[in-house]
Structures are given as C-alpha cells and as structure tokens.
Amino acid sequence: MARWQRWADVALGIVLGSLLASLAFWLALPPRGEPIVLEPPPPTPTPAPLRVYVVGAVRRPGVFALPRGSRVEDAVAAAGGFTDAALREAVNLAAPLQDGLRVYVPSRLTPTPHVLTPTAAPLSTAVAPEERIDLNTASAEALERLPRIGPALAQRIIAYREAHGPFQKVDDLLAVKGIGPTLLETIRPYVTVHTGP
C-alpha cells in the first residue's frame, strides 16, 4: 500500500508540474486578437559621404558627394565623364578616394599635364601645377606639401641635397632612400630643379 501511495504521489507531482508549465506558457501569450509586435533592431548609422572636387577635362567640374569606398572612376562619372580632350591614361581610375581630395583630369591640350595621384592632403595644402617646388631650395615644410612626402622623407631629401650638392634633375630623387620610381612619378608634376644662379 505504501509503494502504491509513493507512485501515486510521483504521478500527481508530474501532472501538477505539467499543468503549471502550461499555465505559465498561456499566461505569457498576448491576449487573443492582439498581434505580436517584434521590435526591429536599431538602424546602423550611415557613414558621412566623401566630398571630392573634380576639375580638368570632365564634362561637369565641381564638388561631389560620393559613398565611402568610392574610386576615382566614380568621381569622374559623377562629373559627367571625360571630355574628348581628356588625357585618360594619366588618370588612375582604380585609386581610392579620400574626403577633401582634388581630382584633376589633365587635357591633351595642356602643355605640361600632370598625373593624378590621390593623396591624403586636403585641397588647401595641395601643390598647384603652376607652383612647382624647387628641390634645391625647398624647406622641409614645402616638401611635405608634396603627395606622399612626410616629415621623414622631406628631411632625407634635404640631407641628400646638403651631402651631395644641388639636384641636377628631378630623376636624382631616386638616390634618396625611400623614393622609388612610383613615388617619383607621383611627385614629378609638382617639382622642378633650378641649377643656375
């Protein structure tokens, strides 16, 4: 009789536990007829667009807002594309854009076109083509205005100039540690060498 009583108590406990679990489930449900509302996740903040200034041989020069991750080809497209006179091979369309960049598309009609190389320098500190820097007289601050030339490279250029005398031609920059053919072509449009008095 005691064993039967023990089994009855266990069975009763199981039944009561199931009933309580079912009751808790039904109480947690919203009232019938009311829809279940799921809260959407918070929106991901959209990064601010890049603003670039496109000039030169394009159909609609101006300042354009472009998404982060855009390339030079996107900037040229935003400016209406190349004109017939554009020197397309001088433009690196695959180069990534940075905020505040000036994208210059040279023209075949320009006597001395310069090559486009996007840099981190904002427009206010970029070197204009008509203001080429003389490698033989430029200060470190002036040299740092060149694309991809930081304080260390500027000091190396000056140290080389002081140790070996004036540069005879722009190509002599290849003798400066840290300047290779690619960097030389990047800064060539912005520099000059005066060897006379």
Q: What is the 3-state secondary structure (H, E, C) of the chain?
A: CHHHHHHHHHHHHHHHHHHHHHHHHHHHCCCCCCCCCCCCCCCCCCCCCEEEEEEECECCCEEEEECCCCEHHHHHHHCCCECCCECHHHCCCCCECCCCCEEEECECCCCCCCCCCCCCCCHHHCCCCCCCEECCCCCHHHHCCCCCCCHHHHHHHHHHHHHHCCCCCHHHHHHCCCCCHHHHHHHHHHEECCCCC
56 in the same domain as 98: yes
134 in the same domain as 115: no
Domain that holds residue 52: 47-121
Domain end marker among 62, 93, 121: 121
Q: Indicate if the pLDDT at residue 108 is higher than 90.
A: no
Local confidence band at 115 (pLDDT 50, 70, 90 cut-offs): very low
Query: Contact, 120 vs 97, CB < 8 A?
Result: no
List, for residues 123-174, the tens digit of each pLDDT value.
334 444 456 888 988 888 888 888 888 888 999 999 998 998 899 988 999 9
Q: Which of 15-19, 66-70, 151-155 comes out lowest in average pLDDT?
A: 15-19
Taking all residues of the chain, what is their mean pLDDT, rounded to a whole number? Answer: 77
Count of domains in the chain? Answer: 2
Instruction: Output phi, psi for 57, to 5 deg.
Output: -85, 60
pLDDT for residue 74: 94
88 in the same domain as 150: no
pLDDT for residue 192: 87
Average pLDDT over residues 72-81: 94
pLDDT for residue 77: 95
**Cβ neighbours of residue 122 closer than 8 Å, sequence gap 6 or more:** 100
98 in the same domain as 60: yes
**Cβ neighbours of residue 4 closer than 8 Å, sequence gap 6 or more:** none
Q: Record the pTM.
A: 0.39
109 in the same domain as 83: yes
The CATH number covering residue 155 comes to 1.10.150.320
Local confidence band at 196 (pLDDT 50, 70, 90 cut-offs): low
88 in the same domain as 69: yes
List, for residues 32-56, the tens digit of each pLDDT value.
655 666 677 777 767 788 899 898 8
141 in the same domain as 107: no
189 in the same domain as 175: yes
42 part of a folded domain: no
172 in the same domain as 137: yes
92 part of a folded domain: yes
21 part of a folded domain: no
194 in the same domain as 136: yes
Domain end marker among 77, 99, 121: 121
3 part of a folded domain: no
Distance (Å, rounded) from C-alpha 71 to C-alpha 118?
A: 10
Domain end marker among 69, 97, 121: 121
Distance (Å, rounded) from C-alpha 71 to C-alpha 1?
A: 87
66 part of a folded domain: yes
32 part of a folded domain: no
Local confidence band at 122 (pLDDT 50, 70, 90 cut-offs): very low
88 part of a folded domain: yes
Local confidence band at 75 (pLDDT 50, 70, 90 cut-offs): very high
% the chain with pLDDT above 70? 68
Highest mean pLDDT (candidates 18-22, 60-64, 126-130): 60-64
